[in-house]
């Protein structure tokens, strides 16, 4: 009885193997353009995985037909001429790893690697920094680790408030996004600047925003909740400000941070606020 069951199991496995082989034979008869079209209806991550199936799939999955679908609409208008010689796949990964500076040099756009959805950073020059044009309070400096020509450094201020916005037509539709405050704490910062809760708001225009109260210090301190800020690996720190979903094409999302308690803030360096798909 047992031997008969083993033989039946072996027969089933053989049938399964023959079926898989027949399926692969049928697929191999399809034109590469047809396979490319099928793969282009998936995701960048799936396209990379499918290239491991066979030599034919690798050719199809690497084609411009596939990766053209993963690039955002209007990409040709924002990339430099030097990138036109790249294949569409190489261009896709270039945009994932090298944000493109747009908007008079005060914003950047990149792609999220797994999904191809758009990421934007609104640079400090594009934000409304209260007292930002008053030299005793703020100064504008250049740092080699910043993607932008200038970042804002806080010298001394009691009322700290930074605001910005973005139109959802610039982002990927029907996507959950998070806004991140990107900054540094210089050696001149007041310790209370890092350990006093800041208030963050993210919401659609004319809607009520949920408030988050978090500290900027990424280091754990005794008696204080674990830090929500984290080092990004590019010389900057980030902290999540809030979330939203892009449900409308012509809506405006507002984001802000504020700290107005009675002590002087100093030593905060602001690169910008980044909007990227929520993981």
- Provide the residue count of the chain: 279
What does the alpha-carbon distance between residue 115 and residue 111 come to, in Å, rounded to a whole number?
Answer: 8
Q: Is the pLDDT of residue 12 over 60?
A: no
Average pLDDT over residues 31-55: 82
Q: What does the pLDDT read at residue 38?
A: 80
User: pLDDT tens digits, residue range 204-249?
Assistant: 998 887 789 999 988 866 656 667 899 999 999 999 999 999 987 7
What does the alpha-carbon distance between residue 89 and residue 74 come to, in Å, rounded to a whole number?
Answer: 16
Residue (of 60, 100, 94, 99) closest to 80 by Cα position: 100
**Average per-residue pLDDT for the chain:** 85
Its pTM stands at 0.84
Reported confidence tier of residue 270, pLDDT bands at 50, 70, 90: very high
Reported confidence tier of residue 61, pLDDT bands at 50, 70, 90: confident
Which helix H or strand E contains 89, and what residues bound it? helix 88-97
Asked whether the beta carbons of 72 and 175 are under 8 A apart, the reply is no
Q: Is the pLDDT of residue 10 over 70?
A: no
Asked whether the beta carbons of 205 and 254 are under 8 A apart, the reply is yes
Asked whether the beta carbons of 139 and 130 are under 8 A apart, the reply is no
User: pLDDT tens digits, residue range 249-263?
Assistant: 789 999 999 999 878
What does the alpha-carbon distance between residue 126 and residue 274 come to, in Å, rounded to a whole number?
Answer: 12
Q: Is the pLDDT of residue 100 over 90?
A: yes
Q: What does the pLDDT read at residue 25?
A: 55
Most confident among 9-13, 34-38, 82-86, 232-236 (mean pLDDT): 232-236
Higher pLDDT, 115 or 40: 115
Q: What does the pLDDT read at residue 190?
A: 74
Domains of the chain, first to last: 29-98 (no CATH), 102-111+114-277 (2.60.120.260)
Asked whether the beta carbons of 89 and 62 are under 8 A apart, the reply is yes
Asked whether the beta carbons of 162 and 128 are under 8 A apart, the reply is yes
Q: Is the pLDDT of residue 11 over 70?
A: no
Choice among 60-64, 68-72, 102-106, 266-270 with the minimum mean pLDDT: 60-64
Residues 6+ apart with CB under 8 A from 90: none
User: pLDDT tens digits, residue range 141-162?
Assistant: 999 999 999 999 999 999 999 9
DSSP 38-71: HHHTS-HHHHHHHTTT-HHHHHHHTSHHHHHHHS
Asked whether the beta carbons of 253 and 205 are under 8 A apart, the reply is yes
β-pair partners for 258:
161, 199
What does the alpha-carbon distance between residue 138 and residue 28 come to, in Å, rounded to a whole number?
Answer: 64
């Amino acid at each position: 009885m047992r031997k008969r069951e083993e033989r039946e199991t072996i027969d089933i496995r053989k049938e399964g193997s023959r079926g898989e082989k027949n399926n692969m034979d049928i697929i191999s008869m399809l034109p590469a353009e047809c396979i490319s079209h099928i793969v282009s209806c998936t995701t960048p991550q799936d396209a990379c995985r499918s290239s491991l199936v066979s030599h034919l799939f690798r050719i199809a999955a690497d084609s411009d037909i596939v990766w053209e679908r993963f690039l955002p609409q209007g990409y040709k208008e924002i990339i430099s001429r030097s990138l036109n010689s790249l294949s569409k796949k190489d261009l896709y990964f270039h945009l994932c790893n090298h944000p493109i500076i747009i908007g008079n040099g005060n914003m950047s756009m990149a792609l999220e690697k797994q999904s191809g959805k758009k990421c934007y950073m609104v640079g400090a020059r594009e934000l409304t920094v209260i007292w930002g044009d008053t030299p005793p309070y703020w100064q504008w400096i250049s740092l080699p680790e910043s993607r932008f020509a200038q970042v804002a450094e806080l010298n001394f201020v009691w009322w700290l408030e930074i605001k910005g916005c973005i139109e959802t037509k610039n982002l990927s539709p029907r996507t959950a996004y998070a806004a991140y405050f990107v900054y540094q704490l210089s050696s001149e910062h007041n310790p209370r600047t890092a350990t006093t809760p800041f208030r963050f708001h993210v919401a659609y225009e004319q809607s009520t925003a949920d408030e988050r109260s978090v500290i900027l210090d990424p280091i754990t301190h005794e008696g204080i909740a674990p830090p929500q800020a984290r080092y990004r690996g590019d010389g900057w720190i980030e902290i999540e400000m809030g979330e939203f979903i892009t449900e409308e094409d012509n809506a405006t999302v507002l984001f802000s941070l504020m700290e107005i308690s009675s002590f002087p803030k100093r030593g905060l360096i602001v690169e910008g606020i980044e909007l990227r798909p929520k993981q």
